[in-house]
Amino acid sequence: MRDHVLKCWPGPYAAMLAGEKLFEWRRDDRGYELGDRLVLFEWDPSTEKYTGHGSYWIVTYILRGRFAVPDGYCVMGLRRQGEAKANPADHGIPRGMVQR
């Protein structure tokens, strides 16, 4: 199992926390595998900074190269594992990239 630290915009992030969006469509450039953990941090594109909110998600399904998923992309089914550490810097995100 590997961790993948990723940005997530506020709208999709809120939908995930509400249980309305339990998948991620991503460029398949990290070698995602079943059982990997996504560390999603909410990213505010208007400030170009992280909000400090984060959560863990386990990859339960991966769809590649079929059903309109183009080569080089994947759709991952996810199950929420819990809240990520409050400090994104603990996951390698520079402190200056987090809103205060």
The pTM of the full predicted model, rounded to 2 decimals, is: 0.84
| Tokens encoding 94 | 């520079």
Q: What is the pLDDT of residue 57?
A: 95
- State pLDDT tens for residues 6-34: 999 999 999 999 999 999 999 999 999 99
CATH T-level assignment (fold) for domain 3-86: 2.30.130
| Cα–Cα distance for residue pair 81/34, rounded to 1 Å | 14
- State pLDDT tens for residues 25-67: 999 999 999 999 999 999 999 998 888 888 999 999 999 988 8
| Tokens encoding 55 | 């959560």
Burial class (CB in 10 A: 0-12, 13-18, 19+), 25: exposed
Ramachandran quadrant class, 35 (left: phi over 0; alpha: psi -120 to 50; beta: rest): left
